[in-house]
């Protein structure tokens, strides 16, 4: 009886050999699709460049070597407000500091704040969203109402409020920006879990005896990871922007550190006589945010199984 089956299974064997494609990992497929999206690749290259700059600058400073053309914090009043020339590619600012070096130095702050803030938002947001989505009922109601309250306040105001409580400083800025974005991730994860929860394979996981926590981590989260990754990438750009905004307002980085938003803020008054003090940090912010947005969009398209080029 089951033997009858075996001869069929041999047929199936042969069929299967021919029918099944070589197992391609989903990452490779995703990469293939991403590669086709020129904009996303540009974004990726820019981010790569920026990361390289940040790492090199940070490493060299750690080792005590000066790799930048000038010390970003070295102030030479005799050289203030110099227009961009061969010695100072981006010119100098009101305190005679080389803008080019400061912009490069600022890269490490902006990137690290961006990543750190997103890490905070992600970890707390995913946890809360998973709790609300999977448990439902009262837990869901309580958590989401809390999130709604946070979302009701514009993010910058909320960040400022947090800073007021925490005090000034870069590390406090990171925490504030991180906290502010928690509701978005919580909502995203909760929504995804609600839609994935009813899938048969999640039910099957329950039937074979899985505990709730294992179901969330092993079965649900991996299947919504793509959404989270896309959101996080776009979130980094938002965090960079928020850092700059706080810096502009004088709440983030404290002098004399070079941070693009802070540079913009201090150069506000010089927009007519020395526009280069504003233009270059401004371009730096724009390029960084754009790069992350392009990558994020590209990732979203790449991770959407329907749009994948098959």
Residue choice 45, 59, 161, 204 for contact with other proteins (CB under 8 A): 204
137 binds other proteins (CB under 8 A): no
Q: Read off the tokens for 238.
A: 């938002």
On whether the CB atoms of residues 259 and 252 are closer than 8 A, the answer is: yes
User: DSSP string of the chain?
Assistant: -HHHHHHHHHHHHHHHHHHSPP---HHHHHHHHHHH-HHHHHHHHHHHHHHHHHHHHHHHHHTT---SSS-TT---GGGTTPPS-SSSTT-B-TTS-BHHHHHHHHHHHHHHHHHHHHHHHHHHHHHHHHHHHHH-HHHHHHHHHHHHHHHTS-HHHHHHHHHHHH-SSHHHHHHHHHHHTHHHHHHHHHHHHHHHHTSHHHHHHHHTT--HHHIIIIIIHHHHHHHHHHHHHHHHHHHHHHHHHHHHTT-SSPTTS--HHHHHHHTGGGTTT-THHHHHHHHHHHHHHHHHHHHHHHHHHHH-TTTS--
- Contact status: 203 vs other proteins (CB under 8 A): yes
From 65, 138, 145, 310, residue interacting with other proteins (rule: CB under 8 A): 310
Nearer to other proteins, 64 or 222 (CB): 222
Given 35, 38, 214, 268, the residue binding other proteins (CB under 8 A): 214
- Whole-angstrom Cα distance, residue 201 to residue 208? 10
Interaction between residue 6 and other proteins (CB under 8 A): yes
213 binds other proteins (CB under 8 A): no
286 lies in the site for other proteins, by CB under 8 A: no
Give the number of residues in contact with other proteins, rule: CB under 8 A: 36
Pick 66 or 210: Cβ nearer other proteins: 210
Between residues 214 and 268, which has the closer beta carbon with respect to other proteins?
Answer: 214
From 58-66, 203-211, 263-271, 275-283, give the range in contact with other proteins by CB under 8 A. Answer: 203-211
User: Which residues, in sequence order, are bridge partners of residue 98?
Assistant: 92
The token duo for 210 is 């899985």
From the list 10-18, 82-90, 179-187, 293-301, the region that binds other proteins by CB under 8 A is 10-18
Residue 249 CB, shortest distance to other proteins, in Å, is 44
Residue 23: CB minimum distance to other proteins, A: 6
Nearer to other proteins, 218 or 268 (CB): 218
> Which residue lies nearer to other proteins by CB, 139 or 223?
223
The CA distance from 192 to 125, in Å, is 13
Q: Does 31 bind other proteins (CB under 8 A)?
A: no
Of 51, 73, 210, 254, the one binding other proteins by CB under 8 A? 210
Q: Which residues pair with 92 in a beta bridge?
A: 98
Token code pair at residue 117 = 């803030």
> Which residue, 7 or 273, has its beta carbon nearer to other proteins?
7
In sequence order, what are the beta bridge partners of 194?
A: none
Q: Which of 21, 78, 137, 165 binds other proteins (CB under 8 A)?
A: 21
**Span from 19-27, 118-126, 143-151, 239-247 in contact with other proteins (CB under 8 A):** 19-27
| Residue among 64 and 209 whose Cβ is closer to other proteins | 209
Which residues of the shown chain bind other proteins in the complex (CB under 8 A)? 1-2, 5-9, 11-13, 15-16, 18-21, 23, 26, 199-201, 203-211, 214, 219, 222-223, 309-310
């Amino acid at each position: 009886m089951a033997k009858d089956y075996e001869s069929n299974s041999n047929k199936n064997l042969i069929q299967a050999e021919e029918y099944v494609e070589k197992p391609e990992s989903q990452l490779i497929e995703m990469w293939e699709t991403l590669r086709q999206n020129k904009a996303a690749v540009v974004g990726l290259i820019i981010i790569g460049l920026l990361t390289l700059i940040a790492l090199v600058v940070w490493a060299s400073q750690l080792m005590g070597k000066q790799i930048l053309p000038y010390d970003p914090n070295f102030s030479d009043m005799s050289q203030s407000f110099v227009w961009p020339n061969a010695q100072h590619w981006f010119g100098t600012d009101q305190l005679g500091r080389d803008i080019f070096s400061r912009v490069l130095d600022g890269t490490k702050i902006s990137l690290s704040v961006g990543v750190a803030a997103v890490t905070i938002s992600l970890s707390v947001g995913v946890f809360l969203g998973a709790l609300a989505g999977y448990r439902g009922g009262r837990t869901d109601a309580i958590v989401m109402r809390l999130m709604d309250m946070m979302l009701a306040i514009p993010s910058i105001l909320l960040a400022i409020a947090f800073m007021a409580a925490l005090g000034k400083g870069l590390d406090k800025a990171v925490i504030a920006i991180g906290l502010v974005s928690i509701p978005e991730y919580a909502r995203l994860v909760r929504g995804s879990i609600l839609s994935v929860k009813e899938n048969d394979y999640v039910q099957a996981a329950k039937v074979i005896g899985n505990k709730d926590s294992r179901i969330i981590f092993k079965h649900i989260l991996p299947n919504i990871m793509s959404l989270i990754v896309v959101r996080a990438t776009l979130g980094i750009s938002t965090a960079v922007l928020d850092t700059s905004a706080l810096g502009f307002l004088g709440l983030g980085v404290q002098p004399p550190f070079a941070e693009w938003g802070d540079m913009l803020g201090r150069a506000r008054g010089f927009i007519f006589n020395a526009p280069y003090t504003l233009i270059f940090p401004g371009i730096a912010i724009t390029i960084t945010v754009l790069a992350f947005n392009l990558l994020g969009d590209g990732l979203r398209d790449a991770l959407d199984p329907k749009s994948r080029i098959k």
